[in-house]
A and B are shown apart, each in its own frame.
Chain A
Amino acid sequence: MPITQPLLPPDLARQLERLELVTRKVFRGRMKGERRSAKKGQSVEFADYRNYVAGDDLRSLDWNLYARLDKLIVKLFLEEEDLHFYTLIDASPSMAFGDPTKLEYAKQLAAALGFIGLIRTDRVKVESLGGLQSPVLRGRRGVSRLLGFLDTVEPNETVSLEAGVRQFCLRNHGKGIVVLLTDLMDKAGYESAMRYLVAQRMDVYVIQILSGAEIDPDVAGDLRLVDCEDGDAAEVTISAPLIARYKETLASFTAGAQEFCGRRGMNYLLTSTERPVEELMATWLRKRGLVR
């Protein structure tokens, strides 16, 4: 699939350098990172005092306080940690629609988010529902590898949303942020897939990507609509009420997804491929708190 636009244009990268990924949940990271952790640990930033209990590292005793108060007080420092940031891309054939295609859009989004993570030295990993996965990337040097991996993702995976998410959850049980980039168009429903993510107790962002033609169909006449994934055909005569009905259905579908996600502490975002990624990063995701 030709990529009409670099996944991460320099302008966007410059803009993204000022951002960082945020999570409302505090997770234990594996390596020391740039992220403050709930864990008190070794850093230069003072956090608190507490009474010494047996077993504490003597190096952290505040000897000045002991001299003044004759009590053993341990000085606690804030620990800075890294963050697990997963991006899960739906690469089913239905993602090949739109201009730019939904998959391309998802890749751009994944690249942008991954870039933020990488420059903040978070652990960034990108996977597709079909099981393609990038190595765990860290640091600015990972950017080129991230982009290289994204280029290899093609819209030809026929795995269902539920199966893909389950496999993902089985592979990654660490905590962190997971951003699911999908169109949610699975006839089996998205709910069971979401439940897996909830059970993972991750900070979940579901970004539903729809093409402009899906949100506001510009078709007319008597048509035989063929599903690109399962070949299912629907004969329709396009009429104003049908279009209105379609829009109603779409609205209730997205509203349902939003409600489903909201109840389960997941963040849901609906975006169109016609909305520039830059705008989405600068306003929407910022407002929703994924980036800062």
Chain B
Amino acid sequence: MNELFRNTLSPTQWAVLAAVPPAILALYFLKLKRVPLEVPSTYLWRKSIEDLRVNSLWQRLRQSLLLLLQLLAVALAILALLRPGWQGTELTGGRLIFLVDNSASMSTTDASADDGVSEGDRARLAVAKEKVLGLIDQMDRGMTAMIVSYAGEPNVVQQFTDNTRLLRERLATIEPTIGTTDLKGALDLAGGLANPAQVTVQEGAPEVDVVPAEPATLFIFSDGRFGDVQDFALGNLDPIYVPLGSGKTNNLAITALETRRSESELGQLQAFVQAANYGAEPVDAIVEVRRGERLVDARRLSIPAGETAGATLAIGEANSAAGEGALEARLSRETLEGANDRLEVDDVAFAAINDNKASRVLLVTSGNIAVEQALTTGRVDRLGEVTIEPPAFLDSQDYETRAAAATYDLVIFDRCVPKEAPRANTAYIGVLPPGEAWRQRDAEDAPVAAESVTVPQIIDWNRSHPLLANVELGNFDIVETMLLTPPPGAATLIDAAEGPVAAIAARDGYEDLVLGFPILIEVDGALQRNTDWINRHSFPTFWLNVLEYFVARQAVGERSLRPGEAIELRPLSPASETISVTSPSGREETLRRRGEQPFVYRMTDEVGVYHLAEGGRETRRFAVNLFDPAESDVRLRTDETPDDAQAAAVASIKIGNINVAATAGAAPARHELWRVLLVGMLGLLVLEWYVYHRRVYI
């Protein structure tokens, strides 16, 4: 749209408008209806008029000053309706689709509105919105446009409409997110909405357009931080890629923050922090680690250009005092300023530290002094609360409620089997879990009873598995054991000469540990040892490992979530109907659940530590972090031209088989004059009114 004028009215409207100046003239020259007024004498008036009529030409000019002003005002209004302007983008086709990337990297402040690739200091998203606004302003009559924002999930901001005011309003509602970029989803959405008539009539047959699809111009506003889009046919979408940002923007990011129990010190926690440097220069970064409000440690990391560096540091007691449940690693301000960091959201990472007290362990046994003893050590106490119930408890309503509500972190079944597996990690001693997974079938598909062997020879155990860490198993005997047939994907823990006797397998997000041999067996109403393992040092160590593995790991070293990821939350008390989750920004949401299902929280769209409260008491925390190299590497994707970095062109993006070249500096907003003209017209109106009212003459 580079012509000077743009038509905004239909011919009919123009005709009406064209009639306005003649109408003004006509009204002006038609004899005015004068108001009669009786005066004592017209003597003096006549003389006055005669005096004034002496220079009548001049007088007439004075009289028509109002007319001239009015005509000038109308002329300005007409000129404004022609929308004079210069520079602009040619908008073709009747339909426009604006895909606005609002992923985390679009918050980088390195864009400038003038030219897409030159470095500025404004947020990319703000510039993108400005460009879209400029394009909306240039829409012709009859053009419709649609706005889609895309980060983790595409979001139709505004459906096809020709209401530019609505488009502008909706455009303003696009907020930066911390999500990742998913252009494919946005393209699918845009394509589907743009060409709803495309249906595949027959499998394998080409798409048939039931209605002739209208072509649409697809504006993609992005920084190109995503992979090529496969499996998408643009069809009649005409893509224009408007790159935003700069190819030389530096950014430092924390790419990992994990907590774990110190291996060397009891009850102590360690944090592992990793930072990445996406700049072209090596950086000495200082990472400050805070626990709650307290600065725990600060480390200097030397990160070469394009590399990562990590450090492990002690962060104190596992049992956190009040307000110490959140761990925060932050790149120091000096580091960020020195490295000219342009993206804020990844300069900080969070980890949640949960207390172990919250963990619950259930031991179901008809009496097993050995395991009970092993679960009463001081360290086990710190890890969780162990409840011991008889097998009859499994039939109670209470148990069913709790099992379904995922109240327990670990349930140990000693020589007894529940009707179905609970929503918890489980350990089975001397029995097989319910269900078919661990059971072998014969040729007729009938269940085969597990094979038993007496005095098996233990030949190997999985020393690398955490359950068997620091455990020596070669020095005890077993009287009788089942041979296990673990399901696919299971890890065998202990191998006897005849077959596996202990294994662990995953089940729906939980894990089942199965020991093929009981520890104690009941013979003639009295308990007897089935193994002399209970006399070895490795026995309590093994159970400590079990608790560490199932309970403590979950409590401390929980993996942080990605923005937008949903989390399943289990209440401490099975009776809880509601729990409330407080986001890092203080937004509180109360979750309800249906029946015994765990609560599901989806609003993880902020970086930080979320607090979970149950019955008014904080019970748990979890962290959400960006941790996305694709988003943290905020450099605008450029073609590989190692010889001359300056000349590196902005890389095109590939959609399906089509390369969409970046149109650098594209989509300039048209500079329009109509506002100035309208203001001028209003000024003229005011002047005209002044002239009329104050009887001002030239």
Contacts and interface: CB of A to CB of B under 8 A. Distances in A.
Interface of A: 94-98, 102, 183, 185-187, 211, 214, 219, 221-229, 232-243, 245-246, 248-250, 253
B15 interface: no
A239 B694 CA distance: 9
Contacts of A242: 48-49, 52
Interface stretch (B20-28, B39-47, B385-393, B586-594): B39-47
Contacts of A238: 695
B51 interface: yes
A223 B45 CA distance: 11
Contacts of B63: 237
B697 interface: yes
Interface string B46-69: 111101100000000011000000
B37 A224 contact: yes
Given A237-B63, A238-B695, A241-B697, A226 B45 contact: no
Top 4 nearest A-B pairs by Cβ distance? Answer: A240-B695, A185-B41, A94-B40, A224-B34
A234 B37 CA distance: 10
24 contacts: A94-B40, A98-B40, A102-B40, A185-B40, A211-B40, A219-B37, A223-B34, A223-B36, A223-B37, A224-B35, A224-B37, A226-B36, A226-B42, A228-B38, A228-B40, A229-B41, A232-B42, A234-B42, A236-B45, A236-B49, A237-B32, A241-B695, A248-B51, A253-B44
B469 interface: no
A129 to B, nearest CB: 15
Nearest to B63: A237
Query: Interface of chain A, helix or strand or loop or mixed?
Result: mixed
A211 B35 CA distance: 21
Contacts of B51: 245, 248-249
B696 interface: yes
A145 to B, nearest CB: 30
A94 B41 contact: yes
Interface in B664-698: 694-697
Contacts of A249: 44, 47-48, 51
B39 A225 contact: yes
A232 B39 CA distance: 10
A241 B46 CA distance: 14
A185 B697 contact: no
Contacts of B33: 222
B695 A239 contact: yes
Contacts of A227: 39-43
A186 B41 CA distance: 8
A214 B37 CA distance: 13
A102 B32 CA distance: 32
Contacts of A96: 40
B52 to A, nearest CB: 5
B146 to A, nearest CB: 56
Contacts of B696: 240
Contacts of B694: 240
B48 A246 contact: yes
A183 B40 CA distance: 9
A234 B40 contact: no
Given A228-B41, A242-B52, 17 more contacts: A94-B41, A185-B40, A185-B43, A187-B41, A214-B44, A222-B35, A224-B36, A224-B37, A225-B37, A225-B42, A225-B45, A227-B41, A232-B42, A233-B42, A235-B34, A240-B695, A249-B51
Contacts of B49: 234, 236, 242
Contacts of A241: 52, 62, 695, 697
Contacts of A102: 40
A242 B46 CA distance: 11
Interface string B383-401: 0000000000000000000
A185 B39 CA distance: 11
Most chain B CB within a 10 A radius of its CB, from A95, A186, A234: A234
Given A222-B32, A227-B39, A234 B697 contact: no
Given A94-B40, A214-B40, A245 B34 contact: no
Nearest to B47: A249
B52 A234 contact: no
B336 to A, nearest CB: 69
Contacts of A223: 34-37
A185 B63 CA distance: 30
Contacts of A226: 36-39, 42
A228 B45 CA distance: 13
A32 B63 CA distance: 67
Contacts of A248: 48, 51
